[in-house]
Amino acid sequence: MKSESTLKNTISGSLSQREASVFNWAPQKQDQFVFASMRVLSSFVILILVALMVMLIKTAWPVLVDQGTNFFTQSIWNPVDEEFSALPLIYGTMITTFIAVIIAAPISIMVALFVNEVLTPKLAKLVGLFVEMIAAVPSIVFGLWGIFYLGPFIKNTLAPFLKEHFGYLPLFQGPSFGIGVLTASLILSVMITPTITSICREVFKTVPAMRKEGALGLGATKFEMMLLTIVRPSFSGIVGAIVLGTGRALGETMAVAMVIGNQPQIKASLFAPAATMASIIANEYAEADSEMHIAALCGVGLVLFVLTLIVNLVARSIVWNYNRSSK
Amino acid sequence: MKNILAVVLLGLGFNAFGMTKINGAGATFPYPIYSKWFSEYKSKNAEIEINYQSIGSGGGIRQVLKQTVDFGATDAPMNAKDKSEAPYKISHIPTVLGAVVPVINVKAVNGLKLDGETLAQIFMGKITKWNHPTLLKLNPKAKLPNEDILVVRRADGSGTTSVFADYLSTVSKDWESTVGRGKSLQWPVGIGSKGNEGVTATVKQTEGAIGYVELSYAITNKLSMVAMKNKAGQFVSPTVESISKAAEGANDPTAEYTASIVDSSAKGAFPIAAFTYLLLPEKNDDMNNKEIRKFIKWALTDGQKFAKDLYYSPLPKKVAKQVLEKLK
Does residue A130 surpass a pLDDT of 70? yes
Does residue B287 surpass a pLDDT of 50? yes
Give the span between the Cα atoms of A218 and A6, in whole angstroms.
63
CB pair distance less than 8 Å for A293 and B184: yes
DSSP-derived 3-state class of residue B86: coil
Chain A within 8 Å of B150 (Cβ-Cβ)? yes
Q: What is the pLDDT of residues A44-68, one digit of tens each?
A: 999 999 999 999 999 999 999 988 8
Does residue B107 surpass a pLDDT of 90? no
Q: What is the mean pLDDT of residues B20-46?
A: 90
Distances (CA, A) of B193 to A114, A254, B161: 39, 12, 12
Which ipTM was obtained for this model?
0.77
Local structure of residue B313 (DSSP, 8 states) = B
Please tell me which residue of chain A has the smallest CA distance to B183: A287
Give the span between the Cα atoms of B238 and B229, in whole angstroms.
11
**pLDDT at residue B5 in the model:** 57
Does residue B34 surpass a pLDDT of 90? yes
CB pair distance less than 8 Å for B183 and A275: no
Q: How far is A261 from chain B (nearest CA, A)?
A: 4
Q: Is B294 exposed, middle or buried (0-12, 13-18, 19+ CB in 10 A)?
A: middle
Edge-to-edge, what's the strand order for the sheet holding B113-114?
B113-114, B227-229, B235-236
**pLDDT at residue A274 in the model:** 93
**pLDDT at residue A23 in the model:** 61
Q: What is the mean pLDDT of residues B201-211?
A: 91
Local structure of residue B227 (DSSP, 8 states) = E
Per the DSSP assignment, residues forming a β-bridge with B72 are: B25, B279
Least confident segment among A194-208, A281-295, B14-28:
B14-28
Q: What is the pLDDT of residues B235-253, one digit of tens each?
A: 999 999 999 999 887 888 8
For residue B180, list chain A residues with Cβ-Cβ distance below 8 A.
Answer: 80-81
Per the DSSP assignment, residues forming a β-bridge with B275 are: B97
- Count of other CB atoms within 10 angstroms of residue B204: 16
**pLDDT at residue B33 in the model:** 92
Distances (CA, A) of A279 to A26, A255, A276: 55, 9, 5
B2-97+276-327 and B99-246, same CATH topology = yes
Does residue B13 surpass a pLDDT of 70? no
Per the DSSP assignment, residues forming a β-bridge with B229 are: B235
Query: What CATH topology corresponds to B99-246?
Result: D-Maltodextrin-Binding Protein; domain 2 (3.40.190)
**pLDDT at residue A5 in the model:** 53
Distances (CA, A) of B176 to A65, A162, B264, B268: 28, 39, 18, 25
For residue A261, list chain B residues with Cβ-Cβ distance below 8 A.
Answer: 191-192
Q: Which of residues 269-328 of B touch A (CB under 8 A)?
A: none
Question: Does B73 or A20 have the greater pLDDT score?
Answer: B73
Give the span between the Cα atoms of A261 and B247, in whole angstroms.
35
Query: What CATH topology corresponds to B2-97+276-327?
Result: D-Maltodextrin-Binding Protein; domain 2 (3.40.190)
DSSP-derived 3-state class of residue A126: helix
Q: What is the pLDDT of residues B134-169, one digit of tens each?
A: 999 999 988 899 988 999 999 988 888 999 999 999
Task: Please state the φ and ψ torsions of residue B230, each to the nearest 5 degrees.
Answer: -95, -175
Q: How far is A264 from chain B (nearest CA, A)?
A: 8
So where are chain B's domains? 2-97+276-327, 99-246
Task: Please state the φ and ψ torsions of residue B259, each to the nearest 5 degrees.
Answer: -70, 145
**pLDDT at residue A1 in the model:** 44
Of residues A76, A152, A287, nearest to B156 (C-beta): A287
**pLDDT at residue B113 in the model:** 93
Across chain B, mean pLDDT equals 88
